[in-house]
Amino acid sequence: MGVLFACESVSVKYDMGFAVENVSFELEAGDYLCIVGENGSGKTTLLKTIAGLVRPAAGKVDLRGVKQSEIGYLPQQTPLQKDFPANVMEVVLSGRLGRNGWLPFYTKRDKDSANEEIVRLNIGDIKFASYRSLSGGQQQRALLARALCATDKLLLLDEPTSGLDPLIASELYRILRELNERGLTIVMVSHDVGSAVHYGNKVLHMQTSKLFFGSQNDYVASDAGRRLLGGAAAGRRLPGGTAYV
């Protein structure tokens, strides 16, 4: 399907040193990449760099099949964001801001797109509810709808199931898989390594630098995958039938 974007020797440096160091890989349209690794390994920083929110100290992100304005981004929620004073429709509509250019208002196309994502995420019954009154799972659906309003090409997600109970998290993973099967490219940072590897087709294991990049099955069989997955993943099977060992 062709390369959508490539990280070319990307390094990001903060005061304490490198958060990301010399990372290179490329992703094709339709891929589902899971970025895994220990805390402080540079996962979130790399995601922000792909999103254009962090400027690399060296290297570059080469956007070949997608524009910066066509990237949907779902960051980790902060306490302030959870108390955002708006209703669900207003939150979802705000995902169209990056596509509007100079327009100071929402078009009919923007509103149609917001309504389409609200239906897709099954949150029509809370369309005009206050965002701050929602449960964690409902808020995450609203934010996912917002991110989807910004893109039909590339969706970036940072710990999307953090703080959600297992049933709600499983439903969110199901929705993401369906979106990917329809052609949306997904890049997801996750601490839930077992589920992340289960749903994605490619894995990037970060340790500031790139420890592993490749297919789902190759990762499970690699030393890095065995160490991170550990005994907790034993016995689970990938969609193709390959067992974690």
pLDDT 10s digits, 84-121? 789 999 999 999 887 665 566 788 999 999 999 999 99
Compute the CA torsion angle 83, 84, 87, 92 (nearest 10 deg).
-120
Is the pLDDT reported for residue 238 higher than 70? Answer: no
3-state helix, strand, coil in the chain (%, to 5): 40, 25, 30
Q: Supply φ then ψ for residue 75, to 5 degrees.
A: -80, 175
Is the pLDDT reported for residue 236 higher than 50? Answer: no
Confidence of residue 237 (pLDDT cuts 50, 70, 90): very low
Confidence of residue 22 (pLDDT cuts 50, 70, 90): very high
Helix H or strand E encompassing 205:
strand 202-207
Output the pLDDT for position 103.
60
